[in-house]
Amino acid sequence: MARTNKLVTSTLRPRLVNGRFGDPALFVEVAHERRALLLDLGDLARLSARDLLRVGAVGVSHMHMDHFIGFDALLRVNVGRDAQVDIVGPVGLAACVGAKLGGYTWDLVDRYTTELSFVVHEVEAPDTVKRTRFRFSQRFAAEAEGLVPVQSGAVLETPHWRLCTAILAHHGPCLGFAIEEPVRVNVWRNRVEAAGLEVGPWLKALKAAVRDGLPDHTPVALPNEGTRELGELRPLVSVERGQKVGYVTDVADTPGNRTAIAELCGDADTLFIEASFTRADADRAAARAHLTTTAAGEIGRSCGARRLEPFHFSPRYEDCEQMLLAEVASAFAG
Ligand SMILES: [Zn+2]
Ligand SMILES: [Zn+2]
């Protein structure tokens, strides 16, 4: 196997919790962050408590049962802990979260010193989010925080990722999501070795300093001892476009949706996209405001996605997974 000089690691590691046929839920781990993201809250029984406890940011496409029934699992594991979970979704999400929380008796909250908060971000318009907080100590009564402008297209943001959304059409509004790494810093092994240094964990600090835009005189600790200035070490790495993961489900095949998805998920490294029905069942797909395999493949191509991961296959095709995959692949290839 050829030894590559550019050491590329993935920051975003997405996986479908329930495969291509089960309830939608995409668990996304982020390298160097304990906090994980979860897109859609279908049945979460297959996520371990350990993974559930890592979920700090959630995207809910819409509140049909197969995308929202897992909320209780997330609630259950967090009660009694200090945690904040941000939940991004369409208009109506705060009422649905409030109704879920209102389904239990919270008379024992005074016995806890911990605080659990769900912060709901309803995307009202591309540039406006309505924020509502639900706190354990307040027995999860809704606390309106008003309208918040969306900064540079991202509803949520950390140094490692940004969560962007588009309002798409299903039966009602349904959000599409894109998780973007702002920039990617890659280390070049040959350059490290030519500088008389070793490849090792110390490079994490170098990458973080470059990513955070620190000044040239910043000292960076070397593997054995001593430091060098960041400016001197910069040539060991290259700064490139960050990784991007798209997620689109439960959308009608309309020109408006196709345009909005191409804008949101353009250039995605991986696009997770529903392909609920076969191309032969296009009538059924249209009646239910879902995509066919062919539409999913075509949309993936129009986004310029490097990899397409179709999911939300209707259970009626349980015995023909290969046929569905082949239909998506042929439309994706064009
Ligand atoms: Zn669905
Ligand atoms: Zn739906």
Ligand nearest to the CA of 174: 2
* Three-state DSSP state, 72: helix
| Range 304-321 burial, b when 16+ CB lie within 10 A, else e | ebeebbbbbbbeebeeee
Higher pLDDT pick, 160 / 290: 290
Counting ligands in written order, the one closest to the CA of 311 is 1
Q: How far, in Å, is the centroid of ligand 2 from the Cα of 65? A: 8
Is residue 321's pLDDT more than 60?
A: yes
**Considering Cα of 71, then 72, then 73, then 76, what sign does the dihedral take?**
positive
- What's the 62 CA to ligand 2 centre distance in angstroms? 7
Query: Got the DSSP string for 259-274?
Result: HHHHHHHTT-SEEEEE
- pLDDT (mean) for 128-149: 97
Model pLDDT, residue 223: 82
The CA dihedral of 239, 242, 30, 153, to the nearest 10 degrees, is: 130
Exposed (0-12), middle (13-18) or buried (19+): which is 208, by Cβ within 10 Å? middle
Amino acid at 108: L
| Best-predicted range by mean pLDDT (3-7, 208-212, 214-218) | 214-218
pLDDT tens track for 261-298 = 999 999 999 999 999 999 999 999 999 999 999 999 99
Residue 307 Cα to ligand 1 midpoint, Å, equals 22
Q: What is the largest CA-CA distance in the chain?
A: 68
Assess whether pLDDT exceeds 60 at residue 2. Answer: no
- DSSP SS3 for 258: helix
Residue 332's pLDDT band (cuts 50, 70, 90): very high
Ligand that comes closest to the CA of residue 67: 1
* In the predicted structure, residue 121 carries a pLDDT above the cut 60: yes
Predicted pLDDT at 183: 87
282 and 213 Cβ atoms separated by less than 8 Å? no
Q: Ligand 1 centroid vs 246 CA: distance in angstroms?
A: 17
Cα 311 to middle of ligand 1, angstroms:
10
Q: For the chain, what is the mean pLDDT?
A: 95
For the stretch 19-70, pLDDT in tens is 999 999 999 999 888 999 999 999 999 999 999 999 999 999 999 999 999 9
Q: Alpha-carbon distance 279 to 317, whole Å? A: 12
Q: Is the pLDDT of residue 225 over 70?
A: yes
Query: pLDDT digits over 91-103, tens only?
Result: 999 999 999 999 9
Per-residue pLDDT at 59 = 98
pLDDT surpassing 70 at residue 1:
no
| Mean pLDDT, residues 110-126 taken together | 95
67 Cα–ligand 1 center, Å: 6
Q: How far is the CA of 103 from the centre of ligand 2 (A)?
A: 23
**Res. 259 pLDDT band, cuts 50 70 90:** very high
Q: What pLDDT is stored for residue 3 in this prediction?
A: 65
Taking the centre of ligand 1 as the mean of its atom positions, its distance from the CA of residue 276, in whole angstroms, is: 9
162 vs 11: CA distance, rounded Å? 12
Q: What's the confidence (pLDDT) of residue 75?
A: 98
CA atoms within 13 Å, Cβ hemisphere of 29: 14
- pLDDT range class, residue 316, cuts 50, 70, 90: very high
